[in-house]
Structures are given as C-alpha cells and as structure tokens.
Structure 1
Amino acid sequence: MALLDVRDLVVEFPTRHGTLTALSGISFSVDKGERVGIVGESGAGKSVAAFAILNLLSRPGRIAGGSITFEGQDLTQLSTQRMRAVRGNRISMIFQDPMMTLNPVLTIGTQMIETLKAHRDISEAEARRIAITRLGEVKIPSPEKRLDSYPHELSGGMRQRVVIAIALLTEPALIIADEPTTALDVTIQAEIMSLMLALCKSHGVGLILITHDLAVVSQVTQRVVVLYAGRVVESGETGRVVHNPVHPYTRGLLAALPGEAPPGARLTQIRGTMPSLNAIPEGCPFHPRCDYVQDRCRQAEPALDSLDGHLVRCVRAHELMAGQAA
C-alpha cells in the first residue's frame, strides 16, 4: 500500500463570477521513502495540491472531489483535531521562504522545542537534546549556540537548514517541500538540495518536491508528475520523463533549461502563458501554446493514457513517442 495515494482530486474556489477549478481530478502516489517531483509553471496547481493534502486551503477553496489516503486513512474525512495530529507530525512541509516559516521574535531553540512539545509528551531538556541533534544533522555549526539565535541572525541558507531540521523533528513519514530553494543563491540551492536528498535517504522519509525546475527534479526524485492548468499531463519514472519526454509541454520545459541552449544563443521558451482559471481553453488546455496542435486538440480534452507505465495526456502521444509527429 502506498504511503500517500491521491485519487481524482478536485479543488474548487467559488467566486462571485462562478466556480473556478484549480485541480481537475489529479492522481498520484508516494511510496514509503520514495521521492516524487511535482513540476509545472506558476499557476499549474502545484502548491494547491500540497495545501489540499495538508487541509490548508485558504477559504473559499475546498476539496470538491476525490480522496487523499495517507497511512491508510482518508485525510479529507478527518476532523480538525485528528488532522492536527497528522499535520506537522506525520507530514511536514518546507516552504520556499524560511522567513515566512520562522517566527522572527522567537529564538530558534524556542521554536524547535515548542514544535516538539506540541506533538510529543517530553521534557524540555529532552526536546532541547533532539533539537541540537537535528541542527547538527543539517550541518549547522555550533548547534548548541544556534539554539539561542534569532532567525535574522542567520543567513538565508542557514535559515532554510533550520526549517529542514524543524521538518525532521517529529520523524515524519512524508515531507512536502514547496520550492525550497527559490529564495536562495544558486550555489546554496545545490547544497540544500543535496542535504535534503541525503536526509530523506538516511531517515527513510518520503518526499514530494514541488518545483518548476526539471533539472532539480532529475537529480533528486525517482518519479515525476507534470501539471498544467490543474491537470496531470505526464508522469512516470524521472529518468524516462526527463530523457524521453512525450507531452509537448514537458518537452517545452526541458528545452527551456539554460543548459540546452548553445553558448550565446537565445534561450528557448514556450510561447504564451499559463491560462487563468476562468479562461481554460476548450479541448486540450495546452493547445494554444502547442507546436503539435491539430484541430482535434481544440475539440475535446484528451484522456490520460498509459504508454508502458508512462502516463501522457495527449491525443498524439503515440506519434510523439515514435518520433512521427510534425
């Protein structure tokens, strides 16, 4: 049984102008200790999926359909009290900006100790010991001294290390990392991702990595789910999706990576922008931006088909996989 199994998840936002569908029946799973990437541009629905799993959707957002099964229980059916026992305990989340996570007026030690005591019946001395151990695991020098530091006294990279340490405090089964390195310098980004990968492996923790960067996904995850306009358009084993992408959107994301352009040449880009929720095109939502569009793409939304375990939502999937599309 999968650690997390999301099936046909629908998330809606009722507005005065009608109901907007942010996620339209997405499905994916995470096994124990597995690392799964969720990829897409801004507005694809990546963060909405994470907030839905943790029941943190901002009102009037709501889960309108589907199920989210974690460790055998459907999270959509849990009471507020029972959900609190899961959130921050069995499932932890790492946000992209550590200053949005850390309280600026409390020391690092106070925040870590309070987190532990909120989920466990332990003494302050034991909580302090665990906090020091976790800070050491994320390579923070002099962890005993850092417990008495305030967030503003640490660099961006160190703050994110603290956030990772807090996420590991309760020994969760799953960590959701939402663009965890976006606010950091490029060199620090690589260090943080390498650290997260090593910690997930050593602790046997499942990971959902939310990002727009397929290069990062290829280095960290084992499977990848590509979202577009709230729909899964491609998913499968990471190496296969990265090296043999089928959906035109996935191909566009990979072609846009800086390393794909010759020195001095303009970077490749996908024309147009992600459609807003109140203006999703008829048929395939990607067709206005697609280089392989045909009339049938504008008429009906394609189903998610399996090509030897590789899932693709495109009417020309077989042609594209065989290299026969033009």
Structure 2
Amino acid sequence: MSSTPNFTRGKTMSLLSVRDLTVKFAMRDNTVTALNKISFDLARGERLGIVGESGAGKSITGFALMNLLSRPGFIDSGSILFEGEDMASKSEAQLQAIRGNRMAMIFQDPMVTLNPVLTIGQQMVETLMAHRRLSRAEAEEISILKLREVYIPSPEERLKQYPHELSGGMRQRIIIAIALLLDPQLIIADEPTTALDVTIQADIMELLLELCQSNKVGLILITHDLGVVSQMTERTLVMYAGRIIEAGRTREIINDPQHPYTQGLINALPQQTRPGHRLKQIPGNMPSLTAIPPGCPFSPRCEYAVDRCRVELPEPVRYDHVEVACHEVNRLQKPVAEEQSA
C-alpha cells in the first residue's frame, strides 16, 4: 500500500482536471464546508460515476464544475481545469460561452429545466442561435436532427408543442437532445432519471450511454444508484460528507469495495439480501454540514472505527486497484465477498 496525494489518474491531457476543490456556504455566524479538497481527472470520452447518500456533496460537485453555485455557496479554493481553462476564475460572460456549448448539464426534473411558456422548438432554436451564427431555418433543421437522435417520433410536430403536452420520458429525451445540441465535450447528468417512472429509467440511461459513446462525449453521472453506475460508468468516485473516500474502476469498486462506507452501500442493495430476509442498511445518518465529526466523518457509523479514526482525518492511499481514505483498510474484512459466498 503506497501513499498518494489525491484521487487523480495522473493523466497529462485530461478533459477535466479538478484539484483540491473546496466549496463553502456562508452562514450567519460562520461558514460550513460542503466540499473538502476533492481532486480527480476525467479523460476525453470517459464515463465517471459519483455516488453517495443525500448530503454527500454529489450535486454540489456538479454545480461547482459548471461554476453555477449561487450565494451563499462559493468556491473557496482549488482549481477546475476544463480543457486547460480554469472555470473558477472566469467571468460570467466567459462562462456563458462554455456552458451549454462545450459543457452541458442534465438536471433531475425536466419540468424545472424546460420553460413552460415556450415551445420545444423555441427553446432549442434559441439555444443554438445564442451560441452559433445560424439562421432560424438552419437552427430548426439541427433541432429536428437532434430530436431524431434521441428517438423522438414526429420531431417536426414536437417542436410546436409545450413541455406540459409531453410525457415525462419524452421531456427527458428532449433535455438530452438540448444537452447535445452544440456537441459538447462533457455532459454532467445529475440524477437524470429520478423524476421518471421506473419502467422508463432504463431506456433513458441506455439512450444516454449510446449517445455519449457514439459522440465520444465525456460523462459525469451523479447518482445514488450503484446499479446504474455499474452499467454506465468506467470509473467511480464514492463521496461522503463532502470528501471522496474511494475511487477507482467501477468494476473493482462494485466487486471488491475497500472502504466500510462503500461496503455498506453495496450490502444495502436488494440483490445482496436473500429472499425473505430484512434489507441491510448502514446505521445512522449522513452528518449535517454544521456538525461534521472530527477525524473520519464516517467513524460514528463505522463498525471498524478505532480511536485514531475519531481524531485524525484519513488521507487517501492506494490499496489494490483503488484509492481509499481509511486508516483501517489493511485489516478490514470483505463483507460483500462473505455474503456472496455464504
């Protein structure tokens, strides 16, 4: 086991390179830390999953990457290099030229994303014309082509419709089409199927995967669903209380998790419990940003915690094929493997 400074890949030509990113929220009496020195890289065309419970910092990470944080949230320190350009230091006008154009985001609820008083065609055409020198007819033609790419039937008719006239699945397909309108190099998808019926979720995720692969688009998928991550991504970051606590290839993390928190997430999956038995769960809750415990933030919920865990924050180290922030990784049992062999 060797020490390593952060959760990076060591690549020199990354599409996205995040270093020691710290995000804070200004409160009335003090500030709280929502992201605590997170670092990672994303290669061109790579698919990266970010997983964890609610409050882990997943969505804040996505908003910070796009520099979409609004007060009282702010980037306190660190860098976000997108194609070599620091997103944290750009003006609003410079960011507008990047967002939607070279970097796009898909949000949880399409009804919040789409403007209810504008037709689909108006929203797509105006997006294109804001970033490209196109006539309205050319913008409409591109919009129709993108709707066909996401398998929207009768795309010419859909352009004339308003969001409320379409189903949830159709609206999310349109959101994906809008995200791909300007051929971005990176898409950040924040729980893109949460608001959809479970029968439609798999189709949407399969579509997103297909489009990212065919267009060689980098993808950051933010989700709490490890099953989706296992099917969609090549690498995974596991977050807890604003820190990355395990990182590596998705297959390695799913099959042989090293951090006790990751093991708990895997063990809590329904397929890990025999029929008729109670589902497993991690005891306790994610700590509040205003009450993060000293030492390892997971220590109050961890069955392996020792005195050192309660006073000293663990730094990431390489262990087997992953990087993990845990003092006791050398002596941990592998609950997942034991359950599967039982």
Q: Distance in 1 between matches of 2:163 and 2:141?
A: 20
Q: Distance in 2 between matches of 1:142 and 1:243?
A: 43
**In structure 2, what is the equivalent of residue 149 of structure 1?**
161
Within a 5 Å distance, the mapping from 1:69-148 to structure 2 comes to 69-148=81-160
SS at match of 2:192: coil
Q: Distance in 2 between matches of 1:247 and 1:318?
A: 10
Structure 1 residues 261 and 322, CA gap change in structure 2 (3 angstroms)? closer
Q: Distance in 2 between matches of 1:158 and 1:286?
A: 40
Please tell me whether residue 187 in structure 1 is matched to residue 191 in structure 2: no
**In structure 1, what is the equivalent of residue 4 of structure 2?**
none
The TM-score with structure 1 as length reference comes to 0.97
Q: Distance in 2 between matches of 1:139 and 1:256?
A: 35
* Alpha-carbon offset, residue 309 of structure 1: 4.8
Q: Which amino acid aligns with 1:174?
A: L
Unaligned stretches of 5+ in structure 2? 1-12, 336-342
290, 301, 305: which one aligns with 2:302: 290
Please tell me whether residue 161 in structure 1 is matched to residue 152 in structure 2: no
1:108-145 deviation digits (Å, cap 9, x = unpaired)? 11100011011111011111011001111111111111
RMSD: 1.1
Runs of 4+ with deviation above 4 angstroms: none
Q: For the Cα contact (< 8 Å) 2:18–2:40, is it kept in 1?
A: yes
SS at match of 1:89: coil
255, 258, 264: which one aligns with 1:252: 264
The TM-score with structure 2 as length reference comes to 0.93
Unaligned stretches of 5+ in structure 1? none
**In structure 1, what is the equivalent of residue 340 of structure 2?**
none
Q: Distance in 2 between matches of 1:65 and 1:269?
A: 35
**In structure 1, what is the equivalent of residue 7 of structure 2?**
none
* Alpha-carbon offset, residue 320 of structure 1: 2.5
SS at match of 2:205: helix
1:174-212 deviation digits (Å, cap 9, x = unpaired)? 000000000111110000000000000000000000000
Please tell me whether residue 276 in structure 1 is matched to residue 275 in structure 2: no
* Alpha-carbon offset, residue 95 of structure 1: 0.3
Q: Which amino acid aligns with 2:191?
A: E
**In structure 2, what is the equivalent of residue 207 of structure 1?**
219
* Farther off after superposition, 222-231 or 306-315: 306-315
Q: Which amino acid aligns with 1:103?
A: N
Q: Distance in 2 between matches of 1:244 and 1:87?
A: 37
Q: For the Cα contact (< 8 Å) 2:258–2:334, is it kept in 1?
A: no
SS at match of 1:254: helix
Please tell me whether residue 10 in structure 1 is matched to residue 52 in structure 2: no
231, 236, 248: which one aligns with 1:224: 236
Number of equivalent positions: 323
* Alpha-carbon offset, residue 264 of structure 1: 2.0
Q: Which amino acid aligns with 1:72?
A: G
Structure 1 residues 280 and 117, CA gap change in structure 2 (3 angstroms)? same
**In structure 2, what is the equivalent of residue 239 of structure 1?**
251
Q: Which amino acid aligns with 2:67?
A: N
* Alpha-carbon offset, residue 321 of structure 1: 7.0
* Alpha-carbon offset, residue 17 of structure 1: 2.5
Q: Distance in 1 between matches of 2:65 and 2:173?
A: 24
Q: Which amino acid aligns with 1:267?
A: L
Within a 5 Å distance, the mapping from 1:15-30 to structure 2 comes to 15-30=27-42
